[in-house]
Structure 1
């Protein structure tokens, strides 16, 4: 989704010559702070990042961050009383009661939104496996399938895409996390300066047109499960303030 929507956005800005480089999240943060002509797609707004970056209108919507784990005997991997009456995980801390040796895999520097970032910050270090490198979701899913870690938190659309490219058919189970937002919004972040502001202004103009195009909508829904479409469509209309584009809308 991120690559697809970013390509559509870049194609709508022919007045700029972009050089694309893939970088890890901590490196992106440093580059955005240092380089006047730097921008990065799909960045979540946090108070810390707002000090050094300016943000576009919304670029991406990702539904329902969930906790994923490899399907075994559910009682052996989810601690007793970890779920509330609605079968949602009470909190990430509920996974690591007593002297738990289970581990949550996370990507270095990646934000999962303020609600979950705060929870992760309180977890004991021995219950976290922090990885760095590209293809975050794909790598974490592989680690989960190989039982190098016990849990990950990610978006269904990202996990589904990673599983489609996986050589194993071993299923993953997931649970919703109580209190977690129904969706997370990603933005284009640019260096806070005159050039960055000019680029953001042009990006925002292009985004208003893209919101109305079916290819942009399809880029979001391509790996989405059909059962999630109703919730996604509601989020699309609420975040982008438009009606759902039709197939013949370009």
Structure 2
């Protein structure tokens, strides 16, 4: 037995992955974030994983309470960094887009609303417009967007909360015209919807978004993060690891994306 195996740490991932996920064969259409999480966890040394499939709110609570608990693929904020140990960034993706059906009245409206290629959610949610926006209310959409989508005054008139509903279930709702728009990352756009929808970068979102591992803010969580960081450092500049991320980025943004990616991944 190798020395690190004798000191293996059991990690409870409060996650979007079901029990046994890491041991199962990856699906052909596995999302980008899960592909990279899989690579990192298989590369990290001295960790044994247990996956608990729960919603984001419960995951955050358990990671606060349990010394060996972690989350994968979460956004960092100053407030969250006070509560959890965060890893290095392991993924960079294009920022949030608003998606509407091609040929719909909303496609025409959002096209007309564009300013420097972006659309403001606040403008598209004008009180008279009464747009229904599909989103997963359990998730974070970034420091600027979260207060906007959780403002009770906005909720009354302007969007439809989908608390507890996975984003995968929202795409059919858009197709059926039960919602007017979906707020989502481009890398999570299902392949069979690419020809059905048009996406607009959101003015209130960062052009690129990084995600991290977050663990309990204690000595065990700190050790777990150290081992995850060792694996991340080894992988992030690998040509194949970067290629799968660049594939999700529209060609006109490649240069800017690569600049940001190299800066971000070089951070200690």
TM range (shorter): 0.7 to 0.9
Q: CA shift at 1:143, angstroms?
A: 1.7
**1:158-173 map, 5 Å:** 158-159=188-189, 162=190, 164=191, 166=192, 171-173=196-198
Q: CA shift at 1:87, angstroms?
A: 4.2
**1:115-194 map, 5 Å:** 115-122=144-151, 123-133=154-164, 136-159=166-189, 162=190, 164=191, 166=192, 171-194=196-219
Q: Specify the SS of the correspondent of 1:114.
A: coil
Q: CA shift at 1:231, angstroms?
A: 3.1
- 1:9 matches 2:40: yes
- Structure 2 unaligned residues grouped into runs of 5+: 1-31
Q: Equivalent residue for 1:43?
A: 74
Aligned length: 234
Task: Give per-residue Cα distances to partners, 1:119-155, cap 9 Å, x unaligned.
Answer: 2233233422222447x33222222112111112212
Q: Moved runs in structure 1, 4+ residues, more than 6 A?
A: none
Task: Give per-residue Cα distances to partners, 1:146-173, cap 9 Å, x unaligned.
Answer: 21111122122211xx1x1x3x675211
> Residues of 1 paired with 2:112 and 2:248: CA distance?
32
- TM-align CA RMSD: 2.5
- 1:112 matches 2:141: yes
Q: Equivalent residue for 1:221?
A: 246
The answer to whether the Cα contact below 8 Å between 1:33 and 1:192 also exists between their aligned partners in 2 is yes
- Structure 1 unaligned residues grouped into runs of 5+: 243-250
> Residues of 1 paired with 2:49 and 2:244: CA distance?
21
Q: Whose relative contact order is higher, 1 or 2, with alpha carbons under 8 Å and at least 6 apart? A: 1
Q: Equivalent residue for 2:234?
A: 209
Q: Equivalent residue for 2:10?
A: none
